[in-house]
Amino acid sequence: MKTDDSLDSPIAAICREKGMKLTGQRRTIAHVLSESDDHPDVEELYRRATAVDPRISIATVYRTVRLFEEQGILRRRDFGGGRARYETTDHGDHFHLIDVDSGTVMEFDDEELKALLAGIGARMGYEVATTRLELYGRRKKKKGR
Amino acid sequence: MKTDDSLDSPIAAICREKGMKLTGQRRTIAHVLSESDDHPDVEELYRRATAVDPRISIATVYRTVRLFEEQGILRRRDFGGGRARYETTDHGDHFHLIDVDSGTVMEFDDEELKALLAGIGARMGYEVATTRLELYGRRKKKKGR
DNA sequence: TAGTATATGAGAACGATTATCAGTTGCAAG
DNA sequence: CTTGCAACTGATAATCGTTCTCATATACTA
Ligand SMILES: [Zn+2]
Ligand SMILES: [Zn+2]
Ligand SMILES: [Zn+2]
Ligand SMILES: [Zn+2]
């Protein structure tokens, strides 16, 4: 496998730091992930990766996203529809609002919300470890005047 | 199929009102659901139903929960783990807190939380139709004193 | 009680994901 | 630079929850 330096990426650097073997396929998938700012599923990642290098099988994409998730590089999301979606963890902690008509996924964050959720958990005697929160809605019509 | 009146239930009554054919299997599943106050998956419902009447196949349980969901009798939940969980809609609108150690599912509700979520959606230009919210946490140790 | 539309049981089919395994490759040591 | 081997990959089978198929059975109406 030729080594194409143009495929280097922040995620590839993390792989090296962690001592993970950096194969051509892994470098390409890391590159694709590094320049993605959305929430692709495995099929979509497969499409983007094979567009760069067709010598990648879907099995390897599945293996790689699992590996990257275990290594804390990727976060797995489930917005319904039966397929896992992925985003890099460096996007930070946030929630999602999904437009039910278009499927568009938007991100938001809110400190008051986080505090409220932690407080509810605490009141029930729990330390909240993970929150899964998605809002599904439709675009509001402009209010007439 | 013999008609066992002891299996009548509020959900069976709803079926009758809606003009749905009330088969023996459906009556049994409705009975089991009416007296369940947890979040069983299809396997568990199948166990509970066949304990009452073994002449029920898992296919019919799948069909029935789907039908009941379409009819607004059941609400489908997904707490991870890959299998759908069900609860009757008459439990009302609420959220869930899952004990990650035991798997126990607890329910909670909070008006301030609902208002905050609706406000966040509105600020983003959306009318929130559905909210999916689950807290995953571990029991807090009692604070020493 | 008979007729018909609908439901059921058993198992095949499905779709996303994981496992298997023979062949390939990154990488480190010589 | 070669070599050696553990780790990786591609192709495809297996898995798992769920839905579909179809021949048979049943509830409800008249
Ligand atoms: Zn690119
Ligand atoms: Zn996101
Ligand atoms: Zn009972
Ligand atoms: Zn509930």
**Residue A105 sits in the same domain as residue A48:** no
Instruction: Answer whether A133 sits within 8 Å of B133, measured CB to CB.
Output: yes
**Residue B57 sits in the same domain as residue B111:** no
**Residue B108 sits in the same domain as residue B127:** yes
Whether A126 has a pLDDT exceeding 90, the answer reads: yes
Q: Is residue B8 very low, low, confident or very high in pLDDT (cuts 50, 70, 90)?
A: confident
B44, B87 Cβ separation under 8 angstroms: no
**Residue A126 sits in the same domain as residue A72:** no
pLDDT in tens, B18-63: 999 999 999 999 999 999 999 999 999 999 999 999 999 999 999 9
**Residue A44 sits in the same domain as residue A75:** yes
Nucleotide lying nearest to B15, CA to C1' measure: D27
Instruction: Tell me whether residue A104 is in a domain.
Output: yes
Instruction: Tell me whether residue A45 is in a domain.
Output: yes
Nearest CA of chain B to the CA of A110: how many Å?
Answer: 8
Strands of the A105-108 sheet, one edge to the other: A105-108, A95-99, A126-139, B126-139, B95-99, B105-108
Q: Which residue is nearest to nucleotide C5 (CA to C1')?
A: B21
Number of domains observed in the structure of chain B: 2
**Residue A77 sits in the same domain as residue A104:** no
* CA-based torsion, A102, A104, A109, A113: positive or negative: positive
pLDDT of residue A86: 98
pLDDT of residue B144: 55
**Residue A113 sits in the same domain as residue A69:** no
Instruction: Tell me whether residue A143 is in a domain.
Output: no
Nucleotide lying nearest to A64, CA to C1' measure: D8
Q: Tell me the C-alpha distance between B70 and B91, whole Å.
A: 17
**Residue A83 sits in the same domain as residue A103:** no
Instruction: Answer whether A128 sits within 8 Å of B137, measured CB to CB.
Output: yes
pLDDT of residue B4: 60
Instruction: Tell me whether residue B142 is in a domain.
Output: no
pLDDT of residue A7: 80
B105 chain-A contacts, CB cut-off 8 A:
none
**Residue B44 sits in the same domain as residue B81:** yes
Q: Is residue A81 very low, low, confident or very high in pLDDT (cuts 50, 70, 90)?
A: confident
Instruction: Please report, for the domain that includes residue A34, its CATH number.
Output: 1.10.10.10
Strand D positions with any atom < 7 Å from protein CB? 7-12, 16-21, 26-28
Nearest beta carbon to residue B140 from set A112, A125, A135: A125
Q: Which residues pair with B136 in a beta bridge?
A: A130, B98
- Domain end (from B56, B71, B88): B88
Instruction: Tell me whether residue A46 is in a domain.
Output: yes
Instruction: Tell me whether residue B1 is in a domain.
Output: no
CA distances for B140 relative to A111, A117, A123, A127, angstroms? 22, 15, 10, 6
Strand C positions with any atom < 7 Å from protein CB? 6-11, 15-20, 25-27
Instruction: Answer whether A137 sits within 8 Å of B127, measured CB to CB.
Output: yes
Nucleotide lying nearest to A61, CA to C1' measure: D9
Which structural domain, as residue segments, surrounds residue B67? 10-88
**Residue A34 sits in the same domain as residue A70:** yes
Whether A111 has a pLDDT exceeding 60, the answer reads: yes
**Residue A21 sits in the same domain as residue A83:** yes
Q: Tell me the C-alpha distance between A68 and A11, whole Å.
A: 9
Q: Is residue B1 very low, low, confident or very high in pLDDT (cuts 50, 70, 90)?
A: very low
**Residue A104 sits in the same domain as residue A130:** yes
- 0.85 cut: is pTM over it? yes
Instruction: Tell me whether residue B40 is in a domain.
Output: yes
B131 chain-A contacts, CB cut-off 8 A:
133-136
Instruction: Tell me whether residue A30 is in a domain.
Output: yes
